Amino acid sequence: MTPARTSTGAAPTRGRRPGRSTGDDREVAILATAERLLGQRPFGDISIDDLARGAGISRPTFYFYFPSKDAVLLTLLDRVTEEANAAAGDVLVRLADDPRARWRELIARFHATFGGHRDVVLACAQVRGTNAEVRRLWAEVLERWVRAVEAAIEGERARGAAPDGLPARDLAIALNSMNERVWYATFAGDGPAVAERDVVDVLLDVWLTAIYRTTTPPVSPSG
Amino acid sequence: MTPARTSTGAAPTRGRRPGRSTGDDREVAILATAERLLGQRPFGDISIDDLARGAGISRPTFYFYFPSKDAVLLTLLDRVTEEANAAAGDVLVRLADDPRARWRELIARFHATFGGHRDVVLACAQVRGTNAEVRRLWAEVLERWVRAVEAAIEGERARGAAPDGLPARDLAIALNSMNERVWYATFAGDGPAVAERDVVDVLLDVWLTAIYRTTTPPVSPSG
DNA sequence: ACGGCAGTCAACACCATGTCGAGTGGAATC
DNA sequence: GATTCCACTCGACATGGTGTTGACTGCCGT
C-alpha cells in the first residue's frame, strides 16, 4: 500500500513506518550516503539514484524509505539542530556570573556544531529557498533560539547590566540573523567572509556592544 | 552559430549579441515577464516555457535571447544592484557632519531599493545556492559595499569618533551580513523577522553600537 | 537576384522524478 | 507443513523540464 507516510513524529512527509524492521540499516545507509556525497558535491548534483545506489538499493526502493530527496536532508538537519540545542543547553542560565564568557560559550558551541556538519548546514541553506518543509523547520529552531536570547537580554536589563534600547526580540532576531549569515559565508567560503578562527570573536564583539554597549559587561548583580 | 554568448559586458554566460536588432523588445519582454511572474510564484515554479510564452515566443527562441533561466534572473539582479549602488551613492563621504543621520540614510536607501524589488532579490537569494554565476555577482557587489563600510569605519576611528576594536573589515562583513539576512527574513516573511517599518532603525542601532559603542556618535572633528 | 544573417520554431534527445504493479522471503498463524 | 501476511524490492512506465538540431522566413545590403 502507500508506503513511507506514517512517519515517526508529527512531521507529515518524512521518514518511514515506525517500529522495528529489517530495513532500518537501509535507512541509515541512505543517510550516510547523503552525508558522504554532500562532502563531495552540492545537493543539487546528487540524484536520488546516487543515494539509492550508494545505499545498495534501487531507485524505487529509495521511495520506500523517504518520500523525496529533500526529506533525507530534512532528517539530517533534524539531527544537527538537535545537537546544536543540546550543545547550547543551559549556557545562559548563569549569565550574570560572567556574561562575556557565557555569551562566548554560546556562540562558540554553535560554531563548533555547525562547523562539524557544514556540508549539511550549507545544503540546507541552499534548499531552504525551494523547500517549504526545510524552511519551516529552520524557522522553528531559529524561533527557539531567538526566544532564548530575547529572554537573556531582558534578564540582563532587569539586573541593570544592560541598558534599555531596542525591543529585546528585535535585537535577538538581528543578532541571530547575523550569526547565521556570517557562518554561512565563512563555511561556504564564497564572497567576503570572516576567517574561520576569528569568527567567534567577531560575532561576540558585535553581540556584546549591541546588548551592553561595551565589550566588558559587568559581573553579577551586587558583586 | 552559437547564439547568445557574446554578451554586452564582461560576463560570459549572459545576454545576447551586442548591437542593434529587431529583437530587443523580445528580450525586454522576457525580462518583464520574469519580473511579473516572480510576483506570483517562486522562481523554481517558473519554467522557461512560461517565460517564452509570456514574451510571445516559443521555447527554443527563448534560447536565442538567454542561455538559461538563471541568466534572466542574473540580468534582473544586475539592474537592482546598480540601482542600489546609485542610491547608496556617496552618502558616506560627509559622514562626520552627522554620523547617525548618514548611516541611517545609507541603510534606509538600501532598504528602499531592495524593498522595491523584493521579488527579484528573494529569487536571487534562493538561486544563489545552486547557481555559481549569481553567487559570484552577489559576492562582487557585497565586496564593494563591505569595502566602502570598512573605509568609513576606519575614517571614523581616525578622527577619534569611533574606538578601536575589531578589524574594520571583519566588522563591515558582519554588519553587512546581518543586514542581508534580516532583510531577507523581513521581505520573505517566513520565520522570525523584524517588522518592515522597524527594520531600518533596528539595523541602525546595531551598526551604531558596534561601530561607536553609542547610538549618538559625536559630530564633526572639532565641535 | 541574391547571399547572408537576425530571428523563429517543430521535433528530438536527454535526464531526473515519481508511480504502478508484480514479485520475494521470512515470521506468525492455522 | 501449508498458508497467509507484510515488510521490502525492483523493472517498467509516465511525466515534465531542459537544452540542441536543423530547417525555414524575411529583410537588408550589394
- Could you give the C-alpha distances from A196 to A128, A185, A202, B171, in angstroms and in order? 23, 10, 10, 14
Distance A62 CA to C20 C1' (A): 15
Interface residue ranges in chain A relative to chain B, Cβ cutoff 8 Å: 42, 44, 125-130, 135-136, 138-139, 142-143, 146, 165-166, 170-171, 173-178, 180-182, 185, 190-194, 198, 201-203, 205-206, 209-210, 213-215
| pLDDT tops 80 at residue A156 | yes
Question: Mean pLDDT across the stretch A151-169?
Answer: 97
**Which residues have a Cβ under 8 Å from the Cβ of A4 and sit 6 or more positions away?**
A15, A16, A17, A63, A64, A65, A66, A67
Percentage of residues of chain B with pLDDT beyond 70: 88
Closest chain B residue to A178, measured at CA = B178
Q: Cβ contact (<8 Å) for B165 and A210? A: no
> Each residue of B121-167: pLDDT tens digit?
999 999 998 999 999 999 999 999 999 999 999 999 999 999 999 99
Closest nucleotide to the alpha carbon of B69, via C1': D18
Residues 32-61 of chain A sitting with CB below 7 angstroms of strand D:
57-61
Closest chain B residue to A181, measured at CA = B177
CB–CB of B90/B163 below 8 Å? no
Can you give the pLDDT at residue B26? 93
Four-residue CA torsion sign, B186, B189, B194, B195: positive
**Confidence label for B190 from pLDDT (cuts 50, 70 and 90):** confident
Can you give the pLDDT at residue A18? 46
Q: What grid cell was written down for A121?
A: 548546514
Can you give the pLDDT at residue B122? 96
Task: Residue count of chain B, please give it.
Answer: 223
Q: Is A1 exposed, middle or buried (0-12, 13-18, 19+ CB in 10 A)?
A: exposed
Distance B22 CA to D29 C1' (A): 16
Can you give the pLDDT at residue A14? 53
Closest chain B residue to A175, measured at CA = B178
Can you give the pLDDT at residue A166? 98
Question: Shortest CB distance from A182 goes to which of B173, B185, B206?
Answer: B173
Residue of A95, A103, A115 whose CA lies nearest to A189? A115
Question: Mean pLDDT across the stretch A152-167?
Answer: 97
Q: Provide the Cα torsion B213, B215, B219, B220; round to 10°.
A: 40
